[in-house]
Amino acid sequence: MRLGAHVSISGTLDLAIDRAVAIGGECLQIFYGSPRQWREVSYADQVLDRFVTKRRAAHLDPLVAHAAYLVNLAAPDRVDREKSIASLAATARGVERLDGLGAVTHLGSRMGATRGAALRRIATAVQQVLDRTRQAMILLENSAGAGGHVGARFEDLADILREVDDPRVGICLDTAHLYAAGWDLRTPDGVHTMVRTFEQVVGWHHVFLLHLNDSTGALGSGLDRHENIGEGWIGLDGFRAFMAHPRVRMIPGIIETPGFDRKGPDRRNLSRLKRLRGTHTRHHHQSATRMRPR
């Protein structure tokens, strides 16, 4: 399993590479612009080229960009939904320019609408994003489930994938969200049950990325709140069990932890995961990172 982190792009975009390398990252996630604004950003070609060159030299792969927090593909309001589609498409085009894998997005909240209506809106929105981009994957992230957020149920993800039916659409699974949604990842049996169920309902081949976060929220609480690795409810034994599963350990993992100094993902969190990766480390560089389908 390749391990990396969500890192800041503050200062200039390519400094994200330096930050990822400094904490021992092997892959990375960024925001392409501000996560709290609709405004589409643009960068000078030399900045983008410098990012690509530095990432290639640092062997950081894969690269993904997380969509803005404002994105709600399930929004009943047409204006809000169009803004969400435009924002996600801009993020995906940015990843394409940086030669990355794709864009990760939350599905959003149904805001009182029925599940069926929300899923149809999401599928239509994802298709429109695909139509506005060329090759970037759109990775749908599972949710913790509170506040009407879509994606806590595996059936939600399966229905959207079935409706869109495009190999450029995949899944990003977040451990904190899984736990808060009711999947007990603290033991090998619990991890096996989750993976087996996901395989039956969705298909594990759709998973291209993991978000590795411990959970402040208790099992089944629906609370989306990340904690440092080993400091939350999942715990070190849980991550050891999770990363040892043969289906899981082939997928790259990104941390979005608060950091032990509360300044964001850090070397200490990654080091804990690398130790837990344990005996699988020697196979790490031999196993191929799951790549974009052709």
The verdict on whether 226 is a catalytic residue reads: yes
Q: Known catalytic residue: 66? A: yes
* DSSP string computed for 105-117: EE--B-TTS-HHH
Four-CA torsion 19, 282, 291, 99, nearest 10 degrees? 30
Long-range contacts of 74-79 (CB under 8 A, 24+ apart): 74/107, 74/108, 74/109, 74/110, 74/111, 74/113, 74/118, 74/119, 74/121, 74/122, 74/150, 75/108, 75/109, 75/111, 75/121, 76/110, 76/111, 76/112, 76/113, 76/117, 76/121
Which one of the listed residues 19, 121, 206, 226 is annotated catalytic?
226
Task: Specify whether 96 is catalytic.
Answer: no
Tokens linked to 272: 């804990």
Assess whether 49 carries a catalytic annotation.
Answer: no
Say which of 18, 59, 69, 283 is annotated catalytic. Answer: 69
Catalytic status, residue 285:
no
Active-site annotation holds for 69? yes
> What's 45-66 look like in SS3?
HHHHHHHHHHHHHHCCCCEEEE
Contact 142, 99 (CB under 8 A): no
**Active-site hit among 93, 211, 272, 277:** 211
| Cα 263 to Cα 153: distance, rounded to the nearest angstrom | 31
- Choosing from 6, 81, 177, 206, which is the catalytic residue? 177
d(Cα 141, Cα 131) in Å, to the nearest integer? 20
Catalytic residue, from 40, 99, 163, 256: name it: 256
Distance of CA 121 to the CA centre of its chain: 21
Question: Which two tokens mark 178?
Answer: 């899984």
For this structure, is 6 an active site residue?
Answer: no
Among the listed residues 2, 6, 55, 66, the single catalytic one is: 66
- Spot the catalytic one: 159, 224, 227, 266: 224
Catalytic residue among 14, 61, 80, 174: 174
Sign of dihedral through CA atoms 93, 75, 83, 65? negative
**Catalytic residue annotation:** 36, 66, 69, 106, 141, 174, 177, 211, 224, 226, 256
